[in-house]
Structure 1
Amino acid sequence: MTFEYEGRAHPDAPALRAEQFGGKLPLVIMSHGFNGWSTQFSTLAEHIASRGYVVASIDHADRKLEGATDFIHSFANVLASRSLDQRQVISQILSSADANQTGPYALIDTDRIGLIGYSMGGYGAIATAGGDYDYESGTFDTVPDAALEPVRASASEDAGIDALIAFAPWGGAPDNRVWSADTLAQVTAPVLIVAGNQDDVSGFDNGISWIFDSMTGTDRRMLVFREARHNIVGNAFQQSTDVPFQAIEFVNEPVWRQDRINGINQHFVAAFLDLHLKGDAAKAAYLDVPTQNSNDSQWETSFGEQLNGKLAGDDEPEHWRGFQRRWALGLDMYSTMAGE
């Protein structure tokens, strides 16, 4: 099955001068979910890159599934390898940057690193950012001890993550919980979690929310798409009418339009990265929303007034900044400080 998406990037296009963004550029690593692929979120990657970042998206090459045995073997491999893949890619990119290699490596500021993971990519990203696993969890019963040894060994190594974004991270639900509250509290990088409150893969109330609540060692935010399930990130792929439903279900959200999800994700991810990797304090206003429930945003409309797509700014302090009037709907934003 092939999914197509027409992006905006051009092969071999020259990079914008880094001086336009204050010198060398932060590095952002992206990590897909189980049986995903590197360009699955190219819309988000292009948006981040256009704002002055070097973006690298990993192709984890998970073993493809042709039966139950393949699933067990492939998933066990992902449990052991996701964080290791992320660490290895980061290490190799930074080594190339330190060696003054040309091309995108020459643009990288090795002291500013963001990590974005979706589902199993989020599972790995949390560990890479310092949230070591609880290896006594029964979830690891299918993983040979020898395969877990490198994972245990890497846990003591600081990957240098300065900002962590986890979309629908897997591994928090009681039946497959891979952390303890103590290990999650070891994450110190600022965190943005994005989730659907009807996620039936990672679980929301006792899964993703538990992860968020347990990360007491850092400031963290959680953006929630109400009524959404697991697919709350990813391109709006072109699909023919004869595509099997199994494929449609793998890349689409049942309730939310994919283009709407993408626009909202771009909005908040850009603000979060600019705040924490570029020190742009003004971007906090886009994250520190005036109401937890976006539906409660206030922006009065005069009788007969034409709205014309104006975006909320300084003059609309009671509305979610950057959203059009009447369009800030269906979202929640939770914000918690370190120690809480």
Structure 2
Amino acid sequence: MHRLTRGTAAALLGLSLALLGSGATHAAPAPAGAAEHVRLELPQPTGPMAVGRDTLHLVDPSRPDPWTPQAGARELMVSLYYPARAGHGRTAPYMTTGEAQAFLTDRGLAEAVSARTLAGTRTHARTGAPPVRGTFPLVVLSPGFTVNRSTLTLLAEELASRGYVVASVDHAYESVGTAFPGGRLLTCAACEQAPVTGYAHVARGRARDVSFLLDRLTDARDPAWRHAGLIDPARIGMAGHSIGGASAVPAMAGDRRIRAGADLDGGLFGLVPDGGLDGRPFLLVGADGEDQSSWVEGWPRLDGWKRWLKVAGSGHFTFTDVPVLGDQLGLLPPEEPLSGERSQQITRAYLGAFLDLHLKGTAQPLLDGPSPEHPEVAFRG
């Protein structure tokens, strides 16, 4: 995960939307307007349920924002995905045009891909869709540093289609552009400060965000979400990409409601407590060729069920929407052997299996060892 500052993240992605962080030489950007008429689309979820989506704006009056204290209380934007009745509601937008413009500009792609093209990516969730009956495990998703929650949309939709409620979180001032109420596009104040404070500080702040989110979603008297009755508060997990995955460790250490955690290529920064995580399960999924020295250091202290997987041919952004969209735009570097299709198949399969095992109690042979269906995945532990 290990490339975190704004400038370094831009170098990671370079001139390709689908840069996976391998350090290979990347393809030049397409000519201006070349991708203008591409209709981007996320892969269809594989689960049996339709997916609904709501959006929440939450404010924590107990904490000032850690990056911009003058802005006042800490704010979060949350997309909630849930099992829904089919055939209802409108297709949910992928991101706003302002968010798309900020993302593309930060990565030097504004002339290769229009903000309208990226923002118009077709999703499969529907806003306003009535939920199905029942209660479901809750999974919190936290994105990588500098990017917003939209980059984890395919995972959120997949999990909801398989019978989870998913809360995908944007942490204020930690992406290059996230839309907040009042026409505000909050930018990455943390990008300049985090190299000084340390990235463990980012992860610990996100852990506090997640505990506040759980408080608001599971409040028996006054929950923040209209469909909060869908959530089974006894079955909560957390996963994330990059710093979002690293944040699962302090979130679990500080909040016993989180029963399982998964880190998709996020450095651990010494975050695993000496006493471990009280035997709770943890999954590490790493990219090929990334520096995983912090995992070597933290691995012995993970004291419950655990797996360390390494995906051949992958890069830092393999576990997000990025390679899927890069393939469709023709911007995936030829040096990257793992296609967008394989990237999403592997990520969905292993994260889904982990959550099904530990939040639903369903046996998952996929997690017992190497699989001929996924030869790219090696078991380190």
**TM-score, normalization by structure 1:** 0.64
Residue 196 to residue 181, structure 1, CA distance change in 2 (3 Å): same
* 8 Å CA contact 2:142, 2:244 repeated in 1: yes
CA contact (8 A) 1:54 1:108 kept: yes
Residue number in structure 1 paired with 2:366: 286
Compare CA radii of gyration and give the structure with the larger one.
1
- Distance in 1 between residues matched to 2:174 and 2:355, nearest whole Å: 32
1:127-142 equivalences in 2 (<5 Å): 127-130=250-253
Q: Is residue 264 from structure 1 mapped to residue 346 from structure 2 by the alignment?
A: yes
Aligned structure 1 segments of 4 or more residues deviating by more than 4 angstroms: 63-66, 97-102, 238-243
1:14 to 114, 125, 130: 130
The structure richer in helix per residue is: 1
Amino acid at match of 1:212: W
- Superposition pairs for residues 204-283 of structure 1, below 5 Å? 204=292, 206-215=293-302, 217-235=303-321, 236-237=324-325, 254-281=336-363
Measured after TM superposition, the shift of residue 62 of structure 1 is 2.8
Contact 1:116–1:164 (CA under 8 A) maintained in structure 2: yes
Aligned to 1:161: 258
> SS of 1:169's equivalent?
coil
CA contact (8 A) 2:148 2:175 kept: no
C-alpha contact (below 8 Å) 2:146/2:191 kept by paired residues? no
Deviations 1:276-315 (A, max 9, x none): 111113xx212112x4xx5xxxxxxxxxxxxxxxxxxxxx
1:102–1:38 distance in 2 versus 1, CA, 3 Å? closer
Q: Is it true that 1:196 corresponds to 2:287 in the alignment?
A: yes
Question: Partner of 2:171: helix, strand, or coil?
Answer: coil
Structure 1 residue 88, shift from structure 2 partner = 1.4
Query: Could you tell me how far 1:118 is from its partner in structure 2?
Result: 1.4
Q: Is residue 2:232 matched to residue 1:109?
A: yes
Number of residue-to-residue matches in the alignment: 250
Aligned partners of 2:137, 2:326: CA distance in 1, in Å?
31
**In the aligned structure 1, how far is the partner of 2:170 from the partner of 2:224?**
22
Q: Name the SS for the 1:115 alignment partner.
A: strand
1:83 aligned to 2:207? yes
Within 2, Cα distance between the matches of 1:159 and 1:197?
32
Unaligned runs of 5+ in 2: 1-103, 105-114, 178-187
Alignment match, 2:274: 182
CA distance in 2, matches of 1:79, 1:102: 25
Q: Aligned residue for 1:331? A: 377
Q: Distance in 1 between matches of 2:264 and 2:194?
A: 21
Deviation at 1:187, TM superposition (A): 4.8
| Equivalent-residue separation in structure 1 for 2:163 and 2:202 (angstroms) | 31
What's the counterpart of residue 88 of structure 2?
A: none
Q: Contact 1:29–1:115 at 8 Å: present in 2 too?
A: yes
- Letter in structure 2 aligned against 1:43: L
Q: Secondary structure at the match of 1:88?
A: helix
Please give the secondary structure, in 2, of the residue aligned with 1:87: helix
| Deviation for aligned residue 1:229 | 2.8
- Find out whether 1:73 has 2:201 as its counterpart: no
Q: 1-side partners of 2:159 and 2:203: how far apart?
A: 28
Contact 1:29 1:90 in 2 (8 A): no
CA apart distance, 1:272? 1.4
Contact 2:356 2:362 in 1 (8 A): yes
1:112 Cα offset (Å): 0.6
How far does residue 81 in structure 1 lie from its aligned partner after superposition? 1.7
Matched, 1:59 2:105: no
Deviation of residue 270 (structure 1)?
1.5
Q: In structure 2, what is the Cα distance between the partners aligned to 1:124 and 1:253?
A: 31
For 1:288, give the aligned amino acid: D
Q: Per the alignment, in what secondary structure is the counterpart of residue 222 of structure 1? A: strand
Q: Report the alpha carbon displacement of residue 186 of structure 1 after superposing the two structures with TM.
A: 3.3
Q: Tell me the amino acid that sits aligned with residue 356 of structure 2.
A: D
Which ranges in structure 1 are unaligned for 5 or more consecutive residues?
A: 19-23, 131-154, 172-176, 295-319, 336-340
Deviation at 1:110, TM superposition (A): 0.7
Say whether the 8 Å CA contact 1:195–1:232 is kept in structure 2.
Answer: no
Do 2:145 and 2:174's aligned partners in 1 also have CA atoms closer than 8 Å? no
For residues 271 and 195 of structure 1, the distance between their equivalents in structure 2, rounded to whole angstroms, comes to 16
> Aligned letter for 1:166?
D
User: Who is 1:338 aligned against?
Assistant: none
Out of 23, 29, 32, the position equivalent to 2:140 is: 29
Match of 1:120 among 211, 220, 243: 243
Contact 1:63–1:74 (CA under 8 A) maintained in structure 2: no
Match of 2:161 among 33, 36, 50: 50
Residues 229, 253 of structure 1: 8 Å contact kept: no
Do the aligned residues in 1 keep the contact of 2:270 with 2:294 (CA within 8 Å)? no
Distance 1:8 1:214 in 2: 39
Distance in 1, matches of 2:236 and 2:259, equals 5
TM-score (normalizing by structure 2): 0.58
SS in 1 for 2:319: coil
Distance, in Å, in 2 between the alignment partners of 1:239 and 1:271 is 25
**SS of 1:41's equivalent?**
helix
